């Protein structure tokens, strides 16, 4: 796996964990009562620990950018490019971004979200 792909995958996992943590914190989710199989294992703490573990592996500058975008939009930080459009703000991306994507971590020039392509 290339370094770019590995970092994008980490950022995607980070976003998934952030969304899970956000849901877990809501009263509606707590009311449902999902439980951990081990009584000693706290659900939220496990998620926070895993989040910290993933965040440690992300390059600091990317992590900083991730946190900023998450704070601004509340989700949809790492988005897929669909038919040349940003999956976050749906702007048509310049074609050079597709070439750059294999060697660099690319962000949408309009909304700043992290972009990934599925080949």
Contact positions toward another protein, by CB under 8 A? Answer: 13, 15-17, 19-20, 23, 26, 28-29, 31-37, 41, 43, 46-47, 50, 74-76, 78-80, 87, 118
Q: For residues 7 and 12, what is the distance between their CA atoms, to the nearest angstrom?
A: 9
Per-residue b or e along 5-31, where b marks 16 or more CB atoms closer than 10 Å to that residue's CB? eebbebbbbbbebbebeeeeeeeeeee
User: Considering the complex, what minimum distance in angstroms separates the CB of residue 58 from another protein?
Assistant: 15
3-state secondary structure of 41: coil
Between residues 23 and 104, which has the closer beta carbon with respect to another protein?
A: 23
Listing from the earlier edge strand, what are the strands of the sheet with 85-86?
A: 85-86, 78-82, 114-116, 106-107
Judged by CB, which is closer to another protein: 76, or 100?
A: 76
Q: Which is nearer to another protein, 35 or 71 (CB)?
A: 35
Closest to another protein by CB, 68 vs 96, is 68
Closest contact distance (angstroms) between CB of 29 and another protein is 6
The alpha carbon torsion through 13, 81, 76, 91 (nearest 10 deg) reads 160
Smallest gap, in angstroms, from Cβ of residue 84 to another protein?
17
Shortest Cβ 50–another protein spacing (Å): 7
């Amino acid at each position: 796996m290339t370094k770019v792909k590995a970092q994008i995958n980490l950022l995607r996992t980070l976003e998934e964990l952030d969304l899970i943590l956000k849901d877990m914190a809501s009263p509606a989710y707590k009311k449902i009562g999902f439980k951990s199989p081990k009584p000693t294992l706290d659900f939220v703490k496990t998620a926070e620990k895993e989040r910290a573990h993933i965040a440690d592996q992300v390059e600091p500058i990317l992590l900083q950018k991730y946190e900023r975008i998450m704070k601004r939009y509340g989700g949809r930080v790492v988005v897929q490019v669909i038919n040349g459009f940003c999956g976050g703000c749906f702007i048509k991306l310049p074609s050079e971004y597709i070439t750059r994507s294999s060697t660099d971590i690319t962000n949408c020039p309009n909304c700043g979200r992290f972009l990934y392509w599925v080949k």
